[in-house]
Amino acid sequence: MTRLIGILVGLGFTFVVLLAFVMGAFTWATEEVAETAEHAFHKPAEPLKLASNGPFGKFDRQQLQRGYQVYKEVCAACHSMHLLSFRNLTEIGYSEAQVKAEAASWTVPGIDPNTGEANTRPGIPTDRFPSPYPNETAARAANNNANPPDLSLITKARPHGPEYLHSLLTGYQEQPAELLEKFPEAKTGVGLYYNPYFANLNIAMPPPLSTDGQVTYADGTEATINQMSTDVTAFLVWTAEPTLEKRNQTGWPVLGFLIFATVLAWFAKKQVWADLKPRKQKT
């Protein structure tokens, strides 16, 4: 009797699960999903061509230095980059003397050795890039309750990171009249900015690159919004993966060795088993 009750309970449970699955699938297939402003007006990131793209990609050091200049003069006012030290700038073409001078142009938190109190001091090459805010609360208070993300790994932290970042920086615009007519509730609120490349279309970050010539490049390159956006994106690709060139240079020889070893193993197998014949099956 106990076994029969157990079987009936099991069958009942199985029936309920199967019914729930069928009803859920039917609802998913037949229910009309209401269109949202995000679904209708969100745009995928535009393609971006960088020297570092592809399996043979290499960094353009001149472009990386321009990108660093954009970060320092524009982005650093809100965004930290705490995984990078000043001494890492030698990897993008700066000399040790230039790195020392560059580090000294930044102000970093320090400790007074005489009193033990917190103070500030000029940076040194071993220091990491400082945060513009003392803590998250201060960051949110200064940015309409939004916490600006650290940019060290930003191109790895977002899908299609380089393309997304470049599209976001160049994508600020007025809300389309069609959007407001169709979705009046999606009107950009106070302290927000319309950007179709952002997930919910409205972003708290003001346009960081708003006019051509916002940065004066040391190498004389014309600083258009597109150029500045491309350069800082290239720089942030490097901060997220500074060993990209070494990885590419190492990867191809390793792949060639593996192919050679596979072919060699196949010929060795043929040689070892060449004199052995398969046994005949007895009938």
State the binding site: 75, 78-79, 205
> 98, 55, 66: which is closest to 234 by C-alpha?
66
**Residue 2 to residues 7, 12, 15, 277: CA-CA distances in angstroms?**
9, 15, 20, 61
DSSP assignment of 147-208 equals -PPP-TTHHHHSTTHHHHHHHHHH---PPPHHHHHH-GGG---TT-EE-TTSTTSEESS--S
> 145, 105, 149, 137: which is closest to 123 by C-alpha?
105
For residue 118, the SS3 value is strand
CA distance 132 to 149: 12
CA distance 74 to 72: 6
CA distance 89 to 68: 9
For residue 108, the SS3 value is strand
End-to-end CA distance of the chain: 54
Point out the annotated binding site for heme c: 75, 78-79, 205
Q: Are 156 and 162 in contact (CB under 8 A)?
A: no
CA distance 182 to 179: 5
